Structure 1
Amino acid sequence: MRAMESSVGGLLGGLNSGVVLSLIAVLWTVVWQNLQHLQLQHFFKRHIGRHARRLSALVDPYLSVTVAEYDGGGRMRRAEAYEEVKAYLADTTSRDARHLRAEGAKDADRLVLSMVDGEEVADVLLPEEGGGTVFWWAYSKPPPGQQQDRRWGGGGGGGDQDNHRFYRLFFLDRHRDVVLNTYLPRVRREGRAVMVKNRRRKLSTNISTHQFTDAGFMRTAWTHVPFEHPKTFATLAMDPARKKEIVDDLDTFKNGKDYYARVGKAWKRGYLLHGPPGTGKSAMIAAMANHLDYDIYDIELTSVSSNTDLRRLFIETTSKSIIVIEDIDCSLDLTGTRTKKTDDKPPKVDGDGRKGAAADTSSKVTLSGLLNFIDGLWSACGGERIIVFTTNYLEKLDPALIRRGRMDKHIEMSYCGAPAFEFLARTYLGVEDHELFADVGALLQEVDMTPADVAENLTPKSADDDADSCLRGLVAALEKAKEDKANGRGKDKQPDEDEGQVVIAQDQE
């Protein structure tokens, strides 16, 4: 009996132990799940990390701010802050650097100096900012194995890998507020002022529609040369009243930032220059750029393969610029009917004689893509831009392309009249009045002659030419043109309907 009781007791004890262990397991599972839900491990990690940061601050009390060459999401162009810091350091601290990089400046005899890779310079606060506090700027690029890392290069865009550079500012933790709220804003302001002072205006053109390299980084689609065209409104042959109207319009636009913001319009303006060849459309663009102190971007539409590439070109332009498409009637098939032309020519073939899409290298820019370029959503990316179209044949352009709001101001560049002739005579010959002025003015009412042709006749060809001989030569040229007109000779040959046209994909109605 005792043996039986002992066996039963052991069995019950075992069962009780099993139940207890099971309860413990269940409870532990519940507690562990709740611990995971509360993420206590992250709490301990943060707690430990906080102490680690405090310890590292005792060893290295410096903080840093990195100004990357390209913004985190900006794959199209350099960050403005980077350019401003570069200009500020070039102007204020380059004298302390041991190794410098030289670039051309606005003044052809000067150089703009900037830091090379690995260089460090010191800067201090102004007296009104606290004075005496030393900050350190370093210029560098990511290590080779980290050039595609966003935290180094700024988002994986904007240029070749080797060009993903950055400026880094080092300062003490106790100076955080003065650096972020006072010092860095001043650096940007002064940097912008230096950029204006040293700015060398550029004439840019698009050279490629292949925007991305094999590594996925975008190369710039623009190439540029210094813009040094001498034409100004003071030397532009045009009726003085019309010239003043254009200058006043340009000045109003340049000073109209607040106005455009108030009415809710992108800060841009379109100009359509139309008229016969030789009437000074290109000279007008140069005079506009010199008057406004703007860069020029000259777009060759036939080398733009798609609407996407056209947008990229626009995004890469800077503010304070004139975007030009010359002879747009010869670059696009923009007739008033907007009908798609049929092509009866045999299909293009590749080098092996096969048909295929690879053989089609024509542009796919459409009318809607061009309209979005002018006044769509993408046209508001940036500000203070002027868009200029030129054409010899206004009637060939689609009315939707040249309506107000897209091409806001239409400027007719006409044949030379008496006021323009008198201006040219003063400019080229230095004469205010002459007995032949009346004859020239009368002939110009009967004969169409461009300002370029008038100027050529007024240009002395030898040391013996004077004002009298040049004016008599102009009268003779005008009389000959009048005689040719009377005899039906000398009329300008009108181009065939398709002569000089590059047929580019049109939108369907």
Structure 2
Amino acid sequence: MEASSSLWGGLNSGIVLSLLAVVWTMLWQALQGLQLHHFFGRHSRRLTRRLAAILDPDLTVTVAEYDGGRMRRSDAYKEAKAYLERATREARGGGSGVRHLRAEPDRDPDRVLLSMDDDEEITDEFRGAVVTWRACTAPQREDSAPKYYWRGGAPRAERRSYKLFFAERHRDLVLGEYLTHVRRQGRAVMVKNRQRKLFTNISSDGSWDSDGVWSHVVFEHPKTFATLAMDPVKKKEVMDDLDAFHNGKDYYARVGKAWKRGYLLYGPPGTGKSTMIAAMANHLDYDVYDIELTSVRTNTDLRKLFIETTSKSIIVIEDIDCSLDLTGKRKKKKKVKDEGKDGGDKKEEDKLEKEDHKAGGSKVTLSGVLNFIDGLWSACGGERIIVFTTNHVEKLDPALIRRGRMDKHIEMSYCCVESFKFLAKVYLDVDDHPRFGAVAALLREVDMTPADVAENMTPKGPGEDADSCLAALVQALEKAKEDALMAKKKKAKGKEEEARAADDDEEEEEE
């Protein structure tokens, strides 16, 4: 009987539990139909935000290092960095609480610029509002790096930012006036501490740096137009053109053109193309970006390089005819395509295509360079000069150097009489000398670069004066004249031998 009671009690408990499960399932389905879980979720999140505001009442503004998906370093970040460098320097004596500082080169070579190292904080005061800045770094997630810009290479290791913390009661003051004050003061500090720099692109082999795709040194080249050996009329023409560009912001905006200008410097080696670029940079007070095209893997990487250049800069590609074969492959492909339509020609064309895109080589194309010069992306930013140099202008594709891309063509030729007199004044401090006539006569007959003329006029020891240097120059010119005559005779003799050999071949054929 007791066993029956226990069995009956167990059955009743099971039935009750089953009924409760059924009721709970029906109730839960009804609640899901009413979407009450969304209602409770909203209230729980609101309660969480209120609790967080009680525990941490500060508001936060993040100034990230990069905007536009890492396309370009943020101006706001650079200005905040400059502002905090000054704040760190001014607060150092009063105790800013920053224990770990980062040192960077200053405009004064005997000093350094100090800024907060990662994860350090500094306080600032503005119209009674006390705010805190923190330098933050976060690891870069592999899936967050845009594959379009980083394919073929590892993503950046870190993302940097500055976080600004302030009380909610100062919200309007900080967002409305303080941040504007920071940017204005930061720009003023950047102008004051600005050093002209010479940049070179980092090889895009996957070793991207957290500071961008450029590395730099301080630009300290002494060459100016005052010491540049060039025809005075041509020199003034170039200087006037540069000044017109530098002051032409309103003009370019009015005519609807990007504020940029292209210069093509061409001529034999040693005629001063590189020194001309240095003189241009010193004249305008611009930075110089020297691009090595052979280390740029794709057109996308070339675009990335351009985006990360700053305004007031000269972008240089030296020896453009030697950097990449931008015309030969295109012409060869066109020839292969036009010669026939059989399978052999198609295979040859496919082979050329594969050679162009083989792994490890540069895939920069003529189209990519043209877009770099005057495509849509070239209008990102302003006040940029693009300079190409070449020893063989005839080898360049006409599309590359047409007006609108290379707006001004400057021939850097051999030393003329006026350039010689200029060099004599600079190197020997003489305006006239009895040997000037002999030098002038020889320069009209012999091609010698300004670099060679200057080298011959450079005193080699304490006993050399203007007369001995000019005598050495005359001797060098006479030897160059003799060498030119010998080369001319040798060339003529070679042609005679070729003609004689051709005649002999014809006689043999007739026999």
Same fold at TM > 0.5 = yes
1:139 paired residue number: 135
Shift of 1:473: 1.7
Q: Name 2:345's counterpart in structure 1.
A: none
Would you say the 8 A contact 1:69–1:154 is kept in 2?
no
- Partner of residue 463, structure 1: 462
Question: d(CA) in 2 for partners of 1:172 and 1:110?
Answer: 36
1:205-236 deviation line (CA, Å, top 9, x unaligned): 234232477xxx98844333332222121211
Which residue of structure 1 lines up, in the alignment, with residue 120 of structure 2? 119
Alignment partner of 1:414 is 2:413 = yes
Q: Is the 8 A contact 1:120 1:138 kept in 2?
A: yes
Which of residues 67, 71, 77 in structure 2 aligns to 1:76?
71
Equivalent positions of 1:226-305 (< 5 A) are: 226-305=218-297
| Distance verdict in 2 for CA 1:171–1:464, change over 3 Å | same
1-structure distance, mates of 2:389, 2:469:
31
Q: Does 1:148 align with 2:148?
A: no
- Identify the residue that residue 204 of structure 2 maps to in structure 1: 209
> What is the CA RMSD across the aligned residues, in angstroms?
3.4
Post-superposition CA distance 1:164-206 (Å, at most 9, x none): 2221111121222221221111211221222232233332323
Change (3 A) 1:253 1:42: farther
Task: Give the Å deviation of 1:464.
Answer: 0.6
Aligned-pair identity (%): 67
Q: What amino acid is aligned across from residue 241 of structure 1 in structure 2?
A: V
Q: SS where residue 302 of structure 1 aligns?
A: helix
Once residues 355 and 387 of structure 2 are traced to their aligned partners in structure 1, the CA distance between those partners, rounded to angstroms, is 37
Query: In the alignment, is residue 368 of structure 1 matched against residue 367 of structure 2?
Result: yes
Q: Does 1:383 align with 2:382?
A: yes
TM-aligned CA deviation for residue 335 of structure 1:
5.0
Contact 2:145 2:156 in 1 (8 A): no
Report the counterpart of residue 216 of structure 2 in structure 1.
Answer: 224
Q: Secondary structure at the match of 2:280?
A: helix
**Which range moves more in the overlay, 81-90 or 168-177?**
168-177
Q: Secondary structure in 1 aligned to 2:262? A: strand
Shift of 1:371: 0.8
CA offsets 1:439-471 (integer angstroms, 9 cap, x no match): 322322222111101101110011111112111
Which stretch of structure 1 is more off in the superposition, 82-91 or 329-338?
329-338
Compute the TM-score of the two structures, normalised by the length of structure 2. Answer: 0.76
Determine helix, strand or coil for the equivalent of 1:339: helix
What is the distance in 1 between the residues matched to 2:295 and 2:403?
27
Per-residue CA shift, 1:478-500, capped at 9, x if unaligned? 233234334445999xxxxxxxx
Q: Is the 8 A contact 1:62 1:172 kept in 2?
A: yes
Distance 1:467 1:491, change over 3 A: farther
- Consecutive unaligned residues of structure 1, counting only runs of 5 or more, are 1-24, 126-130, 348-354, 493-509
> 2:73·2:308 contact (CA, 8 Å) conserved in 1?
no
Cα offset, 1:163, TM superposition: 3.2
* Partner secondary structure for residue 389 of structure 1: strand
The one-letter amino acid of 2:134's match is A
What is the CA–CA distance in structure 1 between the aligned matches of 2:365 and 2:104, rounded to whole Å? 39
In the aligned structure 2, how far is the partner of 1:43 from the partner of 1:435? 102
Q: How many residues align?
A: 437
- Give yes or no for contact 2:60–2:165 (8 Å, CA) kept in 1: yes
1:227-286 CA deviation, whole Å, 9 max, x = no partner? 222212121111222222212222222233333233222222111000111100011111
Per mean C-alpha deviation after superposition, the further-off stretch among 437-446 and 40-49 is 40-49
What does residue 107 of structure 1 align with?
Answer: 108
**Could you say what secondary structure the match of 1:365 adopts?**
coil
After superposition, the Cα gap between the structure-2 partners of 1:42 and 1:418, relative to the gap in structure 1 and judged at 3 Å, is farther
For 1:173, the equivalent position in structure 2 comes to 168
> Is the Cα contact below 8 Å between 1:454 and 1:474 reproduced in 2?
yes
Match of 2:444, SS state, is helix
Q: Give the Cα separation in 1 of the matches to 2:377 and 2:257.
A: 13
- Cα distance between partner residues in 2 of 1:191 and 1:154: 29
Tell me the SS of whatever aligns to 1:277. coil
Q: Distance in 1 between matches of 2:389 and 2:87?
A: 44
2:107 aligned partner, one-letter code: K
Q: Is the 8 A contact 2:157 2:210 kept in 1?
A: no
Among candidates 196, 201, 204, match of residue 191 of structure 2: 196
Report the Cα distance in structure 2 between the residues aligned to 1:89 and 1:263, rounded to whole angstroms: 40
Q: Is the partner of 1:113 in helix, strand or coil?
A: strand
CA–CA distance in structure 1, aligned partners of residues 146 and 131 of structure 2:
27
Q: Distance in 2 between matches of 1:149 and 1:181?
A: 36
Aligned equivalents of 1:403, 1:118: Cα separation in 2: 52
Could you say what secondary structure the match of 2:107 adopts? Answer: coil
Secondary structure, aligned partner of 1:141: strand
**Structure-2 residue corresponding to 1:495:** none
- Secondary structure in structure 1 of the residue aligned to 2:195: coil
Instruction: State the distance in 1 between where 2:402 and 2:182 align.
Output: 43
Deviates more, 1:472-481 or 1:52-61: 52-61
**Aligned partners of 1:154, 1:369: CA distance in 2, in Å?**
23
Structure 1 residue 426, shift from structure 2 partner: 1.2
Give 1:107's aligned amino acid.
Answer: D
Q: CA deviation at 1:330?
A: 1.7
Query: Paired residue for 2:331, among 320, 325, 339?
Result: 339
Task: Name the structure 2 match of 1:326.
Answer: 318
Verify the 8 A CA contact 2:142 2:155 in the aligned structure 1: no
Q: Pairwise mapping of residues 441-452 of structure 1 onto structure 2 (< 5 A)?
A: 441-452=440-451
Distance in 1 of aligned mates of 2:312 and 2:438: 44
* Structure 2 unaligned spans of 5+: 1-25, 337-347, 349-353, 492-511
The one-letter code matched in structure 1 to 2:386 is: I
Quote the Cα distance in structure 1 between the aligned partners of 2:217 and 2:383: 21
Q: Distance in 2 between matches of 1:363 and 1:162?
A: 25
Aligned partner of 2:10 in structure 1 is: none
TM-aligned CA distance change 1:161 to 1:396, over 3 Å: closer
**Does the Cα contact within 8 Å between 1:323 and 1:387 map onto a contact in 2?**
yes
Residue 63 and residue 464 in structure 1: after superposition, are their counterparts in 2 closer, same or farther (change >3 A)? same
- Structure 2 CA distance, aligned partners of 1:400 and 1:312? 22
Question: How many angstroms apart in 2 are the aligned matches of 1:243 and 1:186?
Answer: 43
Whole-angstrom distance in 2 between the partners of 1:177 and 1:368:
50
CA-CA distance at 1:116 after TM superposition? 1.3
Give 3-state SS (helix, strand or coil) of 2:220's partner: coil
Q: Quick one: which amino acid aligns to residue 64 of structure 1?
A: T
- For normalisation by structure 1, the TM-score amounts to 0.76
Tell me which moved more, 84-93 or 289-298. 289-298
Cα separation, partners in 2 of 1:256 and 1:417, compared to 1, 3 Å: same
Equivalent pair of 1:269/1:387 in contact (CA under 8 Å): yes
Opposite residue 425 of structure 2, the aligned amino acid is: R
Is contact 1:67–1:166 with CA below 8 Å preserved after alignment? yes
87, 90, 99: which one pairs with 2:85?
A: 90
Question: Of residues 297, 300, 309 in structure 2, which corresponds to 1:308?
Answer: 300
Distance (Å, rounded) in 1 between the aligned partners of 2:318 and 2:302: 15
Change (3 A) 1:358 1:302: closer
